[in-house]
Amino acid sequence: MVQKSLELGATPEILIVQVSGELHVKGWKRREALIKTTCENEIIFDLSDETLRIDCPEDCILYAPHDAKLHIQQVGQYARVQSLDGSIQIDNVGAGLTLRDIGAASVKNVGSEFLAKRVHGDLRVGTVGGGARVRDIDGQFAAESIGGNLRLSDVSGGVSAIIGANAKIELSPVPWQAYAITAGSNIRCHVPEDLNAEIDFSSGAQKIQLTFPDRNETIHEGHYHAEFGEGGTMLQFNAGGKIDLIGVDMDWERDDDNFEIHLNEDFSRMAETITRQTTEQIEAHLGSLNEQLSGLSKTLEDAGLSAERSNEIHQRLEHARRHATQRAQVAAERAQSNLERKLAAVQRKATREARKTPRKSFSIDVDALRSTAQSSTDPVSDEERLMILKMLQDNTISVDQAEELLSALDGK
């Protein structure tokens, strides 16, 4: 891997003209940019007038100051941007795009799946070829066209979106914002049970279901207009299928996925064996907690597992390690305990995401998993990140699985 480092000024701007392969951009505290790539001599970069220009014919990893402004013109495959506070503009991504812990962002075109979480400002999206999952937006969210399903929650501003398939959303409407959702299929929306809004719904299936503590009715009409509470905010939904509006306590603990995960008996016994093995390991070696899962992705790949099963096994190992650490907490350092709590939160999210993935048949080498649990290597490297991106490019894993795997490895 080739790497190049450049000192940046007080107000850095970064222009990525083109990355033909995968792109991973991550913010850090240093006042410099670090470029890592798999190509030897073909990368082109230039720094002038506080603007860094990058053109890379293969995969690229870029570390930049947190406050850098970022403009990405073209990425051939998957792109991931995280931990940047400056404004972000993305013109075109050939495959999937993940945004996480960023400032205000504008995205013109994404070829497949789009994921965004913790955006500190408005998020505006043009065209998404596949589905989208958007959460924790401190501003407005607008999408001109999402080809697949939309899952949306925790948006502090207004919402405007056109979706080709289903929309599952959560809204807490405020009077000074607008909410307009158009979906080719069904719309399912959770709102506060004491909703104050005016609704204007159109249903191609002529079925509109209202479910509230003091109001439960089904309207078999194509169009329905009504007022809730003191009125004010307008909710405009246009669905090719049915519309469900559900009033809930917004302080609930959400479980985004109403699915059960079914593990066969062999897998359950294997998980119990791994749990016992991992527990003994951690109790004997508390100082090596951060090393328990290093190299796991490579071992699972070599074992010939499906992407879904690799992800599930990784989650089980994380779960076992968390509980073992709690039992040994008296001997653990306070800093390590804090890390384990963060890992627990990541694991709960990863488990919910895994429930959405279709089940596939699999075979597994238990001895290989035990060997992996006992191994200890250096923290995740950039080579490992590029390997994950390559697996995504080859369709070995999905965009969701790549995101969760990268997040888990970053978090360990």
One domain for residues 125 and 270? no
Please give the C-alpha separations between residue 331 and each of 33, 75, 278, 280, 341, in angstroms, as whole numbers.
40, 47, 17, 14, 16
The reported pLDDT for the residue numbered 317 is 60
C-beta separation of 336 from 286 below 8 A? yes
Cβ atoms within 10 A of the Cβ of 333, count?
12
Co-location of 73 and 206 in the same domain: yes
Domain identity same for 163 and 55: yes
Do 17 and 106 fall within a single domain? yes
| Contacts of the segment 171-178: beta carbons below 8 A, 24+ positions apart | 171/235, 172/250, 173/197, 173/233, 173/235, 174/233, 175/232, 175/233, 177/140, 177/233, 178/234
Q: Are residues 77 and 177 in the same domain?
A: yes
Q: What pLDDT does 279 receive?
A: 47
> Of 193, 216, 248, which closes a domain?
248
Q: How many CA atoms lie within 13 A of 404 on its CB side?
A: 25
Q: Looking at 179, 213, 248, which one is the last position of a domain? A: 248
d(CA 149, CA 167): 6
* Res 186: pLDDT: 97
Backbone angles phi, psi at 308, to 5 degrees: -65, -45
In a domain, 258, yes or no: no
Give the C-alpha separation, 258 to 352, whole Å. Answer: 9
CA distance 159 to 143: 8
- Does some domain include residue 41? yes
* 259 within domain boundaries: no
Domain boundary at 248, 281, 311, which?
248
Are residues 335 and 239 part of one domain? no
Handedness of CA 339, 340, 345, 349 (dihedral sign): positive
Whether the CB-CB separation of 138 and 155 falls below 8 Å is answered with no
**For residue 269, what are the contacts with CB-CB under 8 A and spacing of at least 6?**
none
Which phi and psi angles does 87 have, rounded to 5°? -65, 150
| Structural contact between residues 312 and 358, judged by C-beta atoms closer than 8 angstroms | no
* Residue appearing with tokens 């690799």: 310
The answer to whether residue 7 sits within a structural domain is: yes
* Residue pair 115/79 in contact by the 8 Å Cβ criterion: no
CB environment 166-191: b (16+ within 10 A), e (fewer):
bbbbbbebeeebebbbbbbbbbbbbb
Buried residues in 21-52 as b, exposed as e (16+ CB within 10 A): bbbbbbbeeeeebbbbbbeeeebebebeeebb
Pairing of strands 179-183, 159-163: parallel
Contact 76, 21 (CB under 8 A): yes
**pLDDT digits (tens), the chain, 412 positions:** 778 888 888 888 999 999 999 999 999 999 999 998 877 667 777 777 778 999 888 899 999 999 999 999 999 999 999 999 999 999 999 999 999 999 999 999 999 999 999 999 999 999 999 999 999 999 999 999 999 999 999 999 999 999 999 999 999 998 888 999 999 999 999 999 889 899 999 999 999 999 998 889 999 999 999 988 888 889 999 999 999 999 987 654 444 443 333 333 333 343 444 444 444 554 554 445 445 445 555 555 555 556 676 676 666 666 655 554 554 444 444 444 444 444 555 555 555 555 444 444 444 444 444 444 444 444 456 666 667 766 766 666 776 677 767 666 665 4
**What are φ and ψ of residue 120, in 5° steps?**
-95, 70
**Residue 280 burial (CB count, 10 A):** 13
Count of domains for the chain: 2
Same domain, residue pair 223 and 276: no
d(CA 362, CA 356): 17
> Do 89 and 231 have their domain in common?
yes
| Alpha carbon distance 24, 62 (integer Å) | 6
Residue 362: what pLDDT? 40
Residue 275 lies in a domain: yes
Query: Can you list the alpha helix ranges (DSSP code H) found in 210-365?
Result: 265-284, 296-302, 307-327, 334-354
CATH code at 127? 2.160.20
CB 160, CB 143: distance < 8 Å: yes
d(CA 154, CA 142): 14
Are residues 221 and 94 part of one domain?
yes
Q: Assess if residue 260 is contained within a domain.
A: no
Let me know whether 56 and 121 are in one domain.
yes
Same-domain check for residues 183 and 327? no
- 142 plus 209 within the same structural domain: yes
Closest of 132, 161, 142 to residue 403, by C-alpha = 132
Domain of residue 91 covers: 2-248
Q: Output the pLDDT for position 39.
A: 73
